[in-house]
Structure formats: structure tokens, C-alpha cells
Structure 1
């Protein structure tokens, strides 16, 4: 199997006037000096992974907090203030749960101008990339969600799973898109497929519903529910959040 083409950057420019930027100064005034390493970590994660946006899911505050030795609450406060002052685009954050900005996107697409091809999702773009001849909208040929035409999954992946006999993957993916995140990435899609292969689509969808009821919207938690059911059996109770979550400790130990 061919190695996937690298999407993110190995390094990114940091303006010498970063600390004098009025948006940064407002964030620092509201959230303290620790907001600076948080902002730099957010930018590093953005440029390293997708390159032009960062998926802000339930795991990211923990990952950044653990990396920097600060609290998850401090990380979340910085993100909230950063979107409020326009450091990150508020509409993209509220609508899609992603962190991005015009400047981030301009720098990324300029930095990758010499690559053969660069992936992008048109829904997340804040700039015009028509001048970049190497950009490819990887979701333009995707199937649409009946309730949300903008939420997409690669059609080729769905067809591939159907041809292999996994007809339930599409239902599990749709449940994930509606309840967890509107656009599963390659890794998320592979994990969902693995869950469906191991447990069946109906049980995976029930696990997604259970995770949503407990406000634990991540694949790691969904997998933890499935493992719990496999060991102890499925229980109808739990569609409502419990005062004490029996999976809380197990979730902390899940490595993915």
C-alpha cells in the first residue's frame, strides 16, 4: 500500500510582532501569560496535521493541556477568547467545530504551492484558492447527508466498504456525522469500520447514542462503551447520563 501523502507542514512562520498583535494581547490580558504557549501549541497542531484547520473535539483540550502542563479549563478559555477576538474564525468554530483563520490558510497554501497536490474541504475555506493549481477538493464527489447536505464522507470509502459486505458502515458513519463530528477523517473512518466489523452497525450506533447522552463525543469513548458491553453485556439503561459514569476510569486508559 502506498504511503499517504503528507498534508501538514514541518514548520511554520511566527511573526516577530506576534506578542504585539492586538488580538494576542487581548487573549493574554484575559487568560494570562500561559495563553501564549497554548496559542503556539494550537498553531503547531493546526499546521502539523491538516495544515489549514484544527478539529476541536473533546480530546484536544486534554492533549494540549497535557503537553504544556496546564489545565484543560485554561486551554478551553484561551480557545473561547481567541474565537471571540477573531484570532480564530468564530463562524467556523461554532458551525463545524474547527479552528482556522484567513492568515493560517494563506500561509499554509502558500507554503505548499510546490507540492503536486494538496487536499482541502471547501466548507472550511475562508480564502480563494483558485490560483493554486495543485489543490484538490477531496470531498466534492462525496454523498450527502439527507439532513445536512454539507456533511460528507468520501464516496469511494463508502463504496469500498459496501463492496466488502459491510453495508452497515454507511449507517454508522451517518450516525457519527450527525452526533459526533460532521466530517470523519481517514483515521476516524477506519476506526468506525473496525468497530462495525467487530460489533455490527446496530450496536455501534447504540454506542454512539450512549456517548452522546453522556456528552462524551469521541471515538475513544465509543470504543470503550463497546468493550464494556462485550465484557458485561448490553444494558438498556444508560441512555440518560448517570451521576457516576462506570466507564470514566476505563476511558482514561484507552490508548487511542
Structure 2
């Protein structure tokens, strides 16, 4: 079954949109052209495209020699930041789509028997489109617990999905409480990731790349929020503010067990060192005094600075 569409409507005031004007002001006509090329690729595919490092290289290659992967990425990130593409889905699933894109796609497919949209990517109200089938694809199953848009869609539409949409066999349960408990469980996981991102950005540095965000997500799966938070605190206390050091601490704890740093012992050790230094200075002063001659060579140990 064909997924994409052959043509799509382009509003006559497209270039008057503030988002497009800002992209144009920053990147010139290349920003406008790449935005339209992105839309054509999205509608050719259906209602979204995956965007990662490989996609940027392939896209820039087809767009011409003057379009580098770096430029393509910069334009995409700017469009996401300005809301042209949905930021939540881009950050969680690395896909480019929007509510407007999905609405135009579904309207263009009104004559089809049914149109399928992945549950994790849904941005429209499913009751507005009679032939819309919301599905749980392999992507959704693989990213279960990481779909950052579930808290916006599923939480508000649990009853709608159960009563009006054939999502999957799980949607046929008799009591909505079962589905609600599942959504709550997913939200707990999502909130953990959101908390981790906030803790990381406040203490280490702002996330600089999709790879770094994916690495954090993997660490959360492997170690959990509490132990990662402790590793971040340890990294900060040692002045090592990078994800590599955090990961090294976690791996060390996994192999050798968690070692709690005792701040009291640290302070005591420092005090002992200072005391030993004072004793050495006093002894040296007394030695000088015993071998010296005359009052000018005498040093009072009590005057040795502590």
C-alpha cells in the first residue's frame, strides 16, 4: 500500500511565515529551498522522516554541492527550535513532523480506506479523521518508555483510543483503568529521563548533540536515575564535567561496587596534613636554632606561621 502522496498544498503565504522568514534571514535562500525539499521528502514518505547523521549526509548529497551536512543540520535544528517541526518528537525519536504536516497528509488521504499513523508520532485528534488507524508499530515497541510525546497524547486520549480506535489487541481491554495504569507507568519513565536531562544540563553542560542525548538515555536504562545522579555529583566534585567521566564512574561502580566518598574523612585527612606540616616546620626551626649563633640567628618556634 502506498504510504506517501504525489503532491501537497503549499500556502501562498508560506514565505511570509515568521518561522520561514527567520530561517531565511539566517541562512538565505538556501534555508528556504531546504525547507521545501524537506517537506517534499516528508510527504513522499507519508507524514514524517527520520533525521540523523546519515540522513543529513544523504539529504545534502541530493540537494547539491553547496549544501553540506553541517548546513542541513543547522537548518533543521533552527526549524525545530522555532516550532516548524515538533520539538518533542524530534528530541525523543529523531523524526521531523508536525501537527500541520499530519493534518494536510490526512486530508490528502481522505479517499483511502484507512491511513495508519504510529501511536508515538500522533499529533492530531484521531476523532477528526474517520479513516485514521492509530497503530503500535515496531518502532513504538522498541522505543516504549522513551516516547516523549506520549504524555501529551495518550494521557489526554486514553478513553478515545480505547473506544474509537483499533490500536492493538491491548486496546480491547474492558476497563480503562488498565490502560491508564500503563500510561502512568510510561510517564514515570519519561519523567526520569526529563529529570536526568535537567540534572545533567544544570551540572555538566547543555546537551550538545543527539549522540549525547542517546548516551544519557542508554545510561538511564542501564543504571537508573539515582545512581547516575550520584555519578554526576562525583564528577562535579572532581572537576570532570563530561559524559565520558560520568560513564567511567558508573562502569567502575558496576565492576567494583559503589564507594561512598566520606567528606568528614577528607577534611580530617587535610587537617592531619596541615598539622604534620606545622610539626616539620617547628622541628626545622629548632634545628636551625640549635646550630645557630647569636641572638640574630635564634628563631622562636612559637612565631612559626601555622
TM-score bracket for the superposition, by shorter chain length: 0.5 to 0.7
User: Which secondary structure state, in structure 2, belongs to the residue aligned with residue 137 of structure 1?
Assistant: strand
Structure with higher helix content: 2
Structure 2 unaligned runs (5+)? 149-167, 170-210, 215-243, 245-306
Task: Tell me how far apart the structure 1 counterparts of residues 140 and 105 of structure 2 sit (CA, whole Å).
Answer: 27
What CA deviation, in whole Å up to 9, does each residue of 1:35-73 have, x standing for no partner?
Answer: 111101110111001x22111122221122111111111
Aligned-pair Cα RMSD in Å? 3.2
Aligned to 2:62: 67
Task: Tell me how far apart the structure 1 counterparts of residues 72 and 143 of structure 2 sit (CA, whole Å).
Answer: 35
Do the aligned partners of 1:41 and 1:64 also contact (CA within 8 Å) in 2?
no
Find the partner of 1:114 among 111, 114, 122: 111
What CA deviation, in whole Å up to 9, does each residue of 1:108-131 have, x standing for no partner?
Answer: 111111101111112111110223
Task: Tell me how far apart the structure 1 counterparts of residues 74 and 147 of structure 2 sit (CA, whole Å).
Answer: 29
Do the aligned partners of 1:144 and 1:150 also contact (CA within 8 Å) in 2?
no
Structure 1 unaligned runs (5+)? 157-211, 216-239, 241-256
Find out whether 1:16 has 2:12 as its counterpart: yes
Which stretches of structure 1, 4 residues or more, deviate above 2 A after TM superposition?
140-151
User: Which secondary structure state, in structure 2, belongs to the residue aligned with residue 43 of structure 1?
Assistant: helix
TM-score of the two chains, using structure 2 as the length reference: 0.45
The structure showing larger relative contact order (alpha-carbon pairs under 8 Å, at least 6 residues apart) is: 1
Aligned to 2:98: 101
Do the aligned partners of 2:23 and 2:79 also contact (CA within 8 Å) in 1?
yes
What CA deviation, in whole Å up to 9, does each residue of 1:222-252 have, x standing for no partner?
Answer: xxxxxxxxxxxxxxxxxx9xxxxxxxxxxxx
Task: Tell me how far apart the structure 2 counterparts of residues 71 and 142 of structure 1 sit (CA, whole Å).
Answer: 29
Cα distance, 1:17–1:136 mapped onto 2, change above 3 Å = same
Do the aligned partners of 1:27 and 1:82 also contact (CA within 8 Å) in 2?
yes
Find the partner of 2:89 among 70, 82, 92: 92
